[in-house]
């Protein structure tokens, strides 16, 4: 800043303000490493001199505006009304001309003073320059105008118009046109949409490739961000295929649902039908964050502003990274038949899972949000979670807008004026020069308003801006060495979240930037135009577009552009006109296309809007996109971006055009960040550009590097072409590399540490031992005093380090009961802790506290199950890749959570149970009875394992009888590993990995040949029957392996998943089935009563598979008594501790029953099934007794505080609970029909029945005599 004599006194502090001008990126040209992989070559920086870079393009642009004097009021801010050539941020700052201030005076401030508690006054002061009164519904709360709202309201603050661009309001019409058949709501008529699709949209033989699939993913994400038309539930249009159809059978019908109508529309010609937009219209990343408060809350972690993620180490990556969480929180998602919503990713838009390329963009933005949270927290340590989250939302939308600028430039060639500022399209449309149209404008900008309102997404844009020709058939999945692992069919990636995780973001993104997509005029990929099934029915993406155009009453091609050519009221007609097609020959120079038009349409005015755009052969000046398509799509998109009050363009000019740098008052959180306060006594409100955030938003290059950075800063991809939207080209689009993260040689570090430690011990072992002892005692005393001071519950301490872990291993129930006796038996403080090695488990029994855990289960804001699983070695038990993706659970929940599938697999269970009992009878054929002096446990375990193996593996399980012993041994190893989880610190968990790896490798030897055989059989079936063939096992029964092979391509991983599912089945049945049998025979005469109820039809209904429905309960069912006895046994055989969760709150968690008592984060909150299920409050005075008829007239509410054996109600309730019930009922029926039992003793109490270990319950053995049941 140049200082005059009058300003020297007041601006002494200004001279110390120096903005960094170094080019903010360290990018290098590549060199090949020893493996041939490209890495950064430090000898070849991008510009040769990293201190200069390519210059400050933002400064160049601002300098042109100032020096030309075309923006009112801009020259007067700078000394001599100009800026030097090639100005840096320093130059801009040094040339600001402040007003003269008398010595010892302070410059008057604007706005006038107001109370900070009056947000309405504050809003009026900061936004008083707007040309209309503000809506007080928005200004009453600062959160409504300082940040973005979730639903997009209050972006446009004009009084009475706060809903402009908001979620849930009707879409606009570009020119107010409604062309319904009846003028009200009936769809516009036209030729058969499938015939139109076949005529004009088939994939062409010659394709022109100019962009990468990354562009496809970006277009999809942008469209999902600004528009979503949900389907009407009861209105649809059936489209039969035409008589000359070649791809579908002639009896095929496409059913296209109409779009949801806006309430109270479609009642008259004066009030025609409108369609609701279920997304916000602003480029606010609502696809990431959600367009409603409810969805947004479910996607937040509420820690440091970050979004929820799951951390996965994908194949080929060096470390775990963030992926979208699976939908355990229940946000709305679209899916296809056979895929449960819980098996898909949770995102802000229901269409999140439509394909992997868009998911790649979504995942990068998720990681970018959380990365930006870390940056903001470091820069603004005083910000809390809410401030970080809301501010980063604004930063992310600013970045996304700048990325959108880079995206729209992908369609343009060289321009006769600057095209890097995002406004070449407007210059073409109006015929104006770059000096007349530039982004240095105040908000609101009249050029982007329509009749005084902002440009918001229109119904026409939502239909035309789909660019279906960009869709590819396949794209490569590439590893870190750029080798193609496989070519992935894009259509097959729809609603396949687990496959996305398995493939890995990096491998997917490498493929999307290393291949090409078709250009305009290429036609639509047949996998999407002639899909056999999409969401369960035939599908043609073009048919959907044409039907939606007509059923929404949109104009035809000629009707739309006749209105366009006239221009908006109060504005000049556009310079670029679109000729009206008076003849069919005006649509196309191709005689075949003209012939098809004449065959299908009566006259040119009937030609659909999307068809006319498809046939348009004129390219917009200086662009590579057809004129008509560009006008409806990109022109509207850019207008919408510049109608946004939070636009980065307006924010960057706030203190130049609205305020001045020496008296700057930001009006939202984005402006607050971009304009950094500058200490100055004379000008207390002085601000200037914050160089850190300007560089972070890539202002030096108008955002042209943000896509490259989005990938390289959020993945392990370090080398990427400069513009990822275009294919690699050594000259025009070279490969540029970032420096990889520095690495540490762990082996060297460990060996050095060991040497140093041993040397110290040899020399000073007495002092070291004494010091360690003193430290341990001090820490113990401190923790004890600190815990009491912070309100933590009392803890059963036990031994040093181990606590009560050894006792808990031997008798978990005794330890839990000791706590209840010692600490009040559920009276205040109603919870106590048990110290188990590295964690303290807080036992919760008060119903109010139990309910708080259940209420949190869908969200896991306070209590987290996955973190608990990590603590008890579940990643080792299930293999890390399966645990991270949760694929086993999603498969079980999807298939065994379906009533029809469970009933069908019940046939497999019944056949397997019959086979086992016939080949392994409880009583030998030569005898009428047999005494089991050691009890029935061993036999029942074999019975369970055999049936589970058949259900999960298939008939091949019978060929491998050794599987039974293998699984029983595997189960014993699992018990040991779970036990180690309570004894070993997490860094020693590798010890538990050894036996697990050994077990999995044994199973692979058995299962890999079976899987290879299955895949070969499936291939033959597909070849014989076509693509519709399904995976079946060859007999008349289904098995779970078929479901696994249908989604998992890697044979080794499939073998591991088969192992896991058999073990889970064994685990769930091992105590529940055995307890059901032993409890039944413990009550004299009960087995006969149950057998009688099963063998004699009740009210004419037989106890067979057709009447067994584990998903519902019917009193009259012949299975009712057996099911009631089963639930009672399950109630009483729950573990001493569990279900449990890690306390994941970011701060001490107050108990619902007594807020003065706190639970510390990072420890375990556990319920006790044993204790809760025996509480008189839950089950009456006989709660501790076995009552087989307790659930005869009312089934237990699984997951409620009264019945927690299968977990808490919510997304993590045991997914195999219906399978377990089906198996117990079927297997018990088969046993009771064949045998009678006589135990050595009856009327057993709890102590005689159960043994409780860490997480495991077993039955105590009792001798039993088994008799053959007489016919």
How many beta carbons lie within 10 A of that of residue 591, not counting itself? 9
User: What's the helix, strand, coil split of the chain in %, to 5?
Assistant: 45, 10, 45
CB contact at 8 A, 1163 and 868: no
Instruction: Judge whether 960 is annotated as a binding position.
Output: no
Q: What are phi and psi of 764, to 5 degrees?
A: -135, 40
Preceding peptide of 444 cis, ω within 30°: yes
Q: How far apart are CA 70 and CA 82, in angstroms?
A: 12
Q: How far is CA 10 from the centre of its chain?
A: 53
3-class secondary-structure state, position 350: coil
Paired tokens of 862: 């306070």
- Which residues, in sequence order, are CB contacts of 484 under 8 Å at separation 6+? 476, 477, 478, 511
Looking at the DSSP assignment, which residues form a beta bridge with residue 930?
A: 1266
Look up tokens 């009878």; give the residue: 921
Paired tokens of 1130: 């399950």
List Cα–Cα distances, 517 to 210, 463, 469, 949, in angstroms. 7, 21, 9, 46
Pairing of strands 839-844, 1164-1166: parallel
How close are the terminal C-alpha atoms of the chain, in Å?
A: 106
Preceding peptide of 829 cis, ω within 30°: yes
Burial class of residue 931 (count of CB atoms within 10 Å of its CB; 0-12, 13-18, 19+): exposed
Q: How far apart are CA 943 and CA 685, in angstroms?
A: 80
- Burial code (b: 16+ CB inside 10 Å, e: under 16) for 1126-1159 equals bbbbbbbbbbbbbbbbbbbbeeebebbbbeebbb
- Which residues, in sequence order, are CB contacts of 12 under 8 Å at separation 6+? 680, 681
3-class secondary-structure state, position 9: coil
Q: How far apart are CA 360 and CA 490, in angstroms?
A: 13
CB contact at 8 A, 853 and 844: yes
CB contact at 8 A, 1204 and 1174: no
CB contact at 8 A, 490 and 355: yes
* Half-sphere CA count of 683, side-chain side, radius 13 A: 24
Look up tokens 């209050």; give the residue: 154
If we measure between CA atoms, which residue out of 1112, 1159, 1114, 1167 comes closest to residue 1139? 1167
If we measure between CA atoms, which residue out of 399, 406, 332 comes closest to residue 167? 332
Q: How far is CA 175 from the centre of its chain?
A: 37
Query: Dihedral sign, CA of 1032, 1034, 1038, 1041?
Result: negative
- DSSP string covering 899-937: HHHHHHHHHHHHHHHHHHHHHS-SS-TT-SEEEETT-SH
How many beta carbons lie within 10 A of that of residue 179, not counting itself? 18
List Cα–Cα distances, 1017 to 1009, 1046, 1226, in angstroms. 12, 13, 30
- DSSP string covering 245-303: -SSS-TT-EEEEEEEPBPTT-SSBTTB---BB--S-SSSS-HHHH-SSHHHHHHHB--S
Annotated binding site for heme b: 468
Annotated binding site: 468
């Amino acid at each position: 800043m140049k200082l005059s004599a009058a300003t020297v006194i007041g601006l002494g502090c200004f001279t110390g303000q120096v903005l960094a001008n170094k080019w903010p990126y360290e990018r290098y040209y590549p060199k090949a490493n020893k493996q041939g992989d490209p890495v950064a070559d430090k000898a070849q920086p991008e510009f040769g001199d990293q201190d200069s870079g390519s210059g400050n393009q933002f400064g160049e642009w601002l300098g042109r505006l100032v020096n030309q004097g075309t923006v009112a009021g801009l020259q007067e801010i700078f000394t001599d009304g100009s800026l030097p050539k090639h100005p840096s941020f320093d130059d801009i700052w040094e040339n600001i001309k402040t007003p003269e201030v008398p010595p010892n005076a302070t410059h008057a401030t604007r706005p006038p003073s107001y109370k900070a508690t009056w947000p309405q006054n504050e809003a009026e002061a900061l936004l008083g320059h707007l040309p209309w009164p503000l809506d007080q519904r928005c200004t009453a709360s600062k959160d409504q105008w300082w940040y973005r709202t979730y639903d997009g309201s209050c972006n446009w603050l004009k009084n009475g118009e706060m809903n402009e661009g908001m979620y849930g309001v009707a879409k606009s019409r570009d020119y107010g046109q409604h062309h319904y058949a009846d003028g009200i709501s009936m769809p516009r008529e036209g030729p058969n949409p499938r015939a139109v699709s076949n005529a004009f949209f088939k994939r062409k033989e010659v394709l022109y490739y100019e962009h990468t699939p990354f562009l496809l993913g970006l277009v999809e994400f942008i469209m999902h961000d600004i528009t979503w038309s949900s389907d009407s539930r009861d209105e649809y249009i059936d489209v039969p295929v035409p008589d000359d159809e070649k791809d579908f059978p002639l009896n095929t019908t496409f059913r296209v649902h109409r779009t949801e109508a806006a309430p109270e529309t479609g009642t008259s010609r004066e009030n025609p039908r409108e369609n609701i937009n279920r997304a916000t219209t602003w480029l606010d990343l609502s696809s990431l964050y959600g367009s409603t408060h409810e969805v947004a809350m479910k996607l937040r972690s509420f820690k440091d502003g970050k979004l929820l993620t799951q951390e996965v180490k994908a194949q080929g990556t060096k470390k775990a990274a963030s992926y979208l969480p699976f939908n355990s929180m229940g946000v709305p998602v679209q899916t296809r038949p056979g895929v449960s919503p819980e098996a898909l990713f949770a995102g802000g838009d229901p269409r999140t899972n439509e394909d992997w390329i868009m998911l790649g963009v979504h995942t990068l933005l998720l990681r970018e949000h959380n990365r930006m949270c870390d940056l903001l927290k470091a820069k603004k340590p005083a910000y809390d979670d809410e401030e970080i989250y809301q501010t980063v939302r604004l930063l992310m939308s600013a970045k996304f807008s700048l990325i959108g600028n880079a995206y729209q430039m992908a369609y343009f060639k060289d321009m006769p004026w600057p095209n890097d500022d995002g406004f070449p399209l407007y210059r073409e449309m109006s015929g104006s020069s770059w000096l007349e149209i530039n982004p240095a404008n105040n908000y609101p900008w009249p050029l982007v308003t329509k009749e005084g309102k902002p440009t918001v997404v229109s119904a026409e844009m939502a239909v035309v801006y789909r660019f279906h020709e960009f869709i590819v058939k396949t794209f490569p999945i590439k590893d870190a060495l750029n080798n193609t692992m496989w070519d992935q069919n894009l259509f097959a990636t729809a609603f396949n979240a687990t496959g996305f995780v398995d493939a890995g973001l990096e491998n997917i993104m490498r493929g999307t930037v290393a291949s090409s997509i078709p250009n305009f005029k290429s036609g639509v990929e047949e996998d999407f135009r002639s899909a056999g099934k999409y969401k369960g029915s035939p599908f043609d993406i073009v048919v959907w577009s044409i039907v939606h155009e007509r059923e929404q009453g949109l104009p035809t091609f000629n009707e739309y552009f006749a209105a366009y050519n006239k221009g908006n009221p109060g504005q000049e007609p556009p310079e670029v006109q679109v000729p009206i097609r008076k003849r069919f020959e005006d649509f196309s120079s191709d005689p075949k296309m003209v012939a098809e038009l004449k065959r299908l349409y009566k006259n040119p005015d009937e030609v659909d809007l999307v068809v006319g755009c498809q046939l348009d052969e004129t390219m917009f000046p200086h662009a590579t996109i057809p004129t008509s398509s560009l006008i409806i799509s990109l022109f509207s998109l850019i207008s919408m971006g510049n109608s946004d009050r939070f636009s980065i363009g307006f924010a960057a000019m706030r203190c130049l055009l609205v305020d001045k740098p020496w008296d700057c008052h930001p009006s939202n959180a984005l402006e607050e960040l971009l304009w950094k306060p500058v200490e100055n006594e004379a000008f207390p409100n002085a601000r200037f550009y914050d160089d850190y955030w300007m560089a972070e938003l890539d202002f030096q290059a108008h955002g042209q590097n943000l896509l490259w950075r989005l990938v390289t800063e959020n993945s392990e991809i370090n080398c990427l072409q400069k513009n990822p939207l275009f294919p690699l080209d050594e000259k025009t689009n070279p490969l540029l590399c970032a420096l990889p993260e520095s690495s540490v040689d762990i082996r060297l570090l460990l060996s050095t540490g060991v040497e140093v430690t041993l040397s110290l011990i040899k020399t000073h072992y007495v002092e070291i031992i004494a010091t360690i002892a003193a430290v341990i005692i001090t820490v113990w005393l401190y923790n004890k005093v600190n815990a009491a001071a912070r309100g933590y519950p009392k803890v059963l301490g036990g031994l040093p380090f181990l606590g009560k872990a050894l006792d808990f291993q031997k008798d978990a129930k005794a330890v839990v009961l000791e706590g209840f006796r010692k600490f009040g038996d559920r009276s205040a403080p109603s919870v106590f802790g048990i110290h188990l090695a590295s964690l303290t488990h807080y036992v919760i029994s008060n119903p109010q506290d139990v309910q708080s855990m259940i209420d949190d289960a869908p969200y896991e804001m306070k209590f987290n199950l996955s973190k608990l699983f990590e603590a008890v070695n579940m990643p080792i038990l299930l293999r890390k890749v399966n645990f991270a993706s949760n694929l086993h659970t999603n498969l079980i929940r999807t298939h065994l959570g379906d009533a029809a599938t469970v009933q069908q697999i019940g046939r497999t269970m019944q056949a397997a149970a019959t086979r086992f009992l016939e080949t392994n009878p409880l009583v030998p054929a030569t005898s009428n009875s047999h005494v089991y002096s050691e009890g029935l446990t061993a036999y029942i375990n074999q019975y369970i394992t055999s049936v589970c193996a058949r259900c999960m593996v298939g008939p091949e399980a019978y060929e491998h009888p050794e599987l039974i012993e293998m699984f029983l041994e595997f189960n014993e190893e699992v018990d040991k590993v779970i036990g180690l989880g309570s004894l070993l610190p997490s860094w020693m968990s590798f010890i538990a990995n050894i036996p697990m790896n050994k077990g999995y490798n044994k199973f692979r030897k058995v299962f890999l040949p079976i899987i290879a055989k299955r895949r070969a059989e499936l291939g033959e079936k597909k070849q014989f029957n076509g693509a519709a063939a399904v995976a079946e096992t060859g007999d008349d029964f289904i098995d779970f392996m078929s479901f696994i092979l249908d989604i998992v391509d890697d044979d080794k991983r499939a073998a591991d998943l088969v192992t896991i599912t058999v073990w889970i089945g064994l685990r769930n049945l091992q105590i529940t089935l055995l307890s059901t049998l032993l409890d039944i025979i413990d009550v004299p005469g009960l087995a006969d009563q149950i057998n009688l109820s099963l063998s004699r039809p009740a009210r004419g209904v037989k106890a067979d598979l057709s009447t067994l429905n584990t998903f519902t309960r019917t009193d009259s069912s012949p299975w009712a008594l057996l099911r009631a006895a089963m639930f009672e046994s399950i109630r009483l055989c729950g573990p001493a501790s569990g279900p449990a969760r890690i306390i994941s709150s970011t701060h001490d968690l107050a108990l619902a029953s007594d807020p003065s008592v706190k639970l510390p984060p990072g420890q375990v909150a556990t319920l006790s099934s044993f204790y809760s299920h025996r509480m008189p409050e839950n089950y009456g005075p006989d709660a501790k007794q076995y009552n087989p008829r307790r659930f005869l007239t009312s089934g237990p509410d699984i997951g409620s505080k009264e019945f927690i054996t299968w977990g808490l109600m919510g997304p993590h309730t045991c997914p195999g609970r219906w399978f377990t019930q089906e198996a117990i009922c079927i297997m018990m029926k088969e046993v009771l029909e064949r045998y009678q039992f006589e135990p050595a003793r009856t009327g057993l109490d709890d102590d005689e029945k159960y043994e409780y270990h860490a997480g495991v319950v077993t039955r105590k053995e009792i001798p039993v005599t088994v008799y053959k049941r007489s016919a």
